[in-house]
Structure 1
């Protein structure tokens, strides 16, 4: 699991960079088809300040994507298109980004409730993914420890239920097999 966990940040960066490239290509194609490109100077190069003051390294695009995700209440789900992943990607590019840090702190309580809802709905794999995402932001939060314990307990309950169903099915098959021999 630690090996796959080490790939998660790299995969997220790859997804984000792909999204940024896709948005840039799409916007370029759109403006090209309209015959005008805003922010283009006489030499054909747009400066960062003329493009609304956003960074050319993708931070501005990621912050916009995150803001949209928050508005659409996609804090930790779906995978690859949620506010937490976008904000964490911003922090990978700019570790001191105050906007991303503040938004992650502000949305933590609601995001934790989303994880608990996934656990209660017995969607344990999704809950594990979401919990890992929150832990990537704040490893020491006691709420995440409690949610981790609840997730583990729910997994144990599910294992016991599955074992009980398997035993009942096996007993039913054995009684059916004994009944046909008589």
Structure 2
């Protein structure tokens, strides 16, 4: 799961092209995947974006998957704790926090996101899911997919995220204002940090 500053910086957790409508079968077929599994195609809220990072794949992958280090290069991530040891693998869990400002329908809060890795191929893709819970705000389930493709001059990083939950689905116009910029900011920070190394 992915959240970012503004309301939600979910790397759901999070994560381009964002819709406030259910994905059509054609859109679902073109969704990003890891081991053939993508976002929640029935989710009302979803967003997709990408960037070219002019750095080696090993640098980009290590930076992105060393989740404990996220606060050092992502302003919107205030803490991360691994809930199990070793490299990220299916079943790995990590808990992280991000501030969420007040909106017309929710108070300012800190979101606590518990992400569980569902699929991963080192250097190629990773997919995690999980809830984001704060005082007065919750996202029942975020699904976040990342793809990493070596290209001439660097790595094309693509990400796509979906959110589900009664609260955010009751006000999708507000929720989308935070998911899309959050994922764009995450990619921009990843690009800046990787290219500086």
- TM-score, length-normalised on structure 1? 0.26
Higher relative contact order (CA 8 A, sep 6+): 2
- TM-score, length-normalised on structure 2? 0.24
Greater helix fraction, Structure 1 or Structure 2: 1
Which protein is bigger by CA-based radius of gyration?
A: 1
